[in-house]
Chains A and B, each alone.
Chain A
């Protein structure tokens, strides 16, 4: 009682910025009661999203995804390895999510951020279980050689909804991926063909090119995600870091391009959700998936 009254009195005297810092929850609730957020967005609206491809020339496929200020750079490098005996026709994808200290004032050097390994695992699980990539396409010579794709995602700016931006950048990087051309030489080893010189062309007739030209992977069932915050009876889509720090119940829904649910994630939090709230989150995720499909479609990604 006393606290509520004092903040009401102070709010008329205080500057907006000070009120935002000292009474963050009240600041947000004042906005939520008008169905708005401090940055002017509607409750169910996500921030502006941009995707750019092919930025890292040293990688076989790369993409930069920005949702609002949250920036993720994903890059894939392919290496040849021997497939395991129980799946001799399949390649492998190794995913790692990094949060270097540049991305946020809360990340200290020498100590990995708390969120990083969690997001890393969730991303790995989501991408593999969505069936977006057919591991058999990564096979070179059955039982002897297959591709191992190392996908590294670096967070360059952490402003909320890290999982969404990371998943988007991973998907875009896979669409940009061009598998290098290799040949099997006489020793039974795989060597890269850099292509173009006359000497190589002559020796190619001896070495059989294992894959004819640089090719892309076929992506089916692309996953799209949306993270929401549940607070009392409000649902806020695509939260910023400030919103995530004040209201702690996060829900992430991942749908694929055929509108099927790939994953649902709610790990505790003070707000317990009714099934109606869950359904609303899924509805918002469906709308967001359409938006994202359009954005990726504009960049010629199927």
Chain B
């Protein structure tokens, strides 16, 4: 199947280095300490952060010198085009762990001992790149909750089909069987927090795809910064009024 036509256009009309449209909004769940909705094309994810609050599971209280971070990833029953999925399958458990570790690296947990930070992620619509959308949504939600972080954690995916590196794969491109590289970086510190790949790629190709994904991450970081600055302005207006 042709994923990139001879003119260089993909199935949805994008070029190889174009991302899908991003829509991001902060403060959508009134009951949460911090919340955000993040959309990358048709992938829609909602994140809610509760914390820092008292540790609810006493058995986790042994780590006293820094905060405990909990993360739960779940997909809504109607989120994919396939049949209804089981609520907690292995994939959800793996993703919960991966996202938790990515965010834990970026939160300054030493500043909040004896407490727990909960990050809940709900995928409302899945069209590829849910992992990345979740990390971006979690970053926005943590910022909305005022939790101190080293840097923004942003994530983007890239792949390699029809001998072309492609940025931000959607579901069809992801299930094509080519490589899928997900990168999570801390942009200001220029450090890689998450790197996952399934498939075989020659080393040079991998470096090209990785560089493309990192470029994508930087663009998303710009967008997230804009959203947070706009949100801060709104808060300022409301406080002045």
Interface of B is mostly: loop
- Asked whether B6 is an interface residue with its Cβ less than 8 Å from the other chain, the reply is no
Is B21 positioned at the interface, with any CB of A under 8 Å from its CB?
A: no
Q: Is the CB of B56 within 8 A of A108?
A: yes
| Count of chain A to chain B residue pairs whose CB atoms are closer than 8 Å in the complex | 82
**In whole angstroms, what is the CA distance A58 to B80 when docked?**
6
Give the residues in chain A near B126, CB-CB below 8 Å. 58
CB nearest to A94 among chain B residues: B84
Assess whether B228 is interfacial by the CB under 8 Å rule: no
Name the residue of chain A whose CB is nearest to the CB of B42. Answer: A57
A231 to chain B, nearest CB (A): 23
Docked Cα-Cα span, A138 to B145, in Å, equals: 46
Q: Is A56 an interface residue (CB 8 A)?
A: yes
List B contacts of A271 (CB < 8 A): none
Q: Scoring A residues 55 to 81 as 1 if CB is less than 8 Å from chain B, else 0, what string do you get? A: 011110010000001010101110100
Interface assignment of A156: CB less than 8 Å from any CB of chain B: yes
Q: How far is the CB of B1 from chain A (nearest CB, A)?
A: 15
Cβ proximity bits B143-160 to A, threshold 8 Å, 1 near / 0 not: 000000000000000000
Instruction: List residues of chain A with CB within 8 A of the CB of B118.
Output: 101, 109
Contact A156 B46 (CB under 8 A): yes
Give the size category of B's interface with A: 20 to 34
Nearest chain B CB to A210's CB is how many angstroms away? 21
Q: What 1/0 mask marks residues of chain A from 148 to 160 whose CB sits below 8 Å from any chain B CB?
A: 0010101011110
B50 touches A105 (CB 8 A): yes
Q: Give Cα distance in the complex from A150 to B84, angstroms.
A: 9
In the complex, whether B32 has a CB less than 8 A from a CB of chain A is yes
Q: Are A104 and B31 in contact (CB under 8 A)?
A: yes
> CB < 8 Å: which of A76, A102, A152 contacts B120?
A102
Query: B82 — nearest CB in chain A belongs to which residue?
Result: A58
Contact between A157 and B72, CB atoms less than 8 A apart? no
Residues on A with C-beta less than 8 A from B32 are 102, 105, 157
**A59/B78 in contact, CB under 8 A:** yes
- Asked if residues B56 and A56 are in contact (CB atoms below 8 Å), the reply is no
Q: Which of B29, B50, B77 contacts A152 (CB 8 A)?
A: B77
Q: Which residue of A lies closest to B56 (CB)?
A: A108
Q: Mark B1-40, 1 if CB is under 8 A from A, else 0.
A: 0000000000000000000000000001111100100000
Residue pair A158, B31 in contact (C-beta under 8 Å): yes
Which of A56, A77, A98 is in CB contact (< 8 Å) with B84? Answer: A77
Shortest CB-to-CB span from B202 to chain A, Å, is 35
- Distance A76 CA – B78 CA, assembled complex (angstroms): 7
Specify which chain B residues have a CB less than 8 angstroms from the CB of A157 in the assembled complex: 28-32
Given the complex of chains A and B, what is the CA–CA distance between A58 and B48 in angstroms? Answer: 23
Q: Does A96 sit at the interface, judged by CB under 8 A?
A: yes
Task: State whether the Cβ of A241 lies closer than 8 Å to any Cβ in chain B.
Answer: yes
Q: How far is the CB of A124 from chain B (nearest CB, A)?
A: 16
Assess the B72–A105 pair: CB atoms within 8 A.
Answer: no
Bound-complex Cα distance A150 to B79 (A): 13
List the 8 closest pairs (A to B, CB-CB), nearest first. A102-B48, A75-B78, A69-B30, A59-B78, A102-B120, A152-B77, A101-B120, A109-B72
Residues of B at the A interface (CB closer than 8 Å) are: 28-32, 35, 42, 46-48, 50, 53, 56, 70, 72, 74, 76-81, 83-84, 118, 120, 122, 124-127
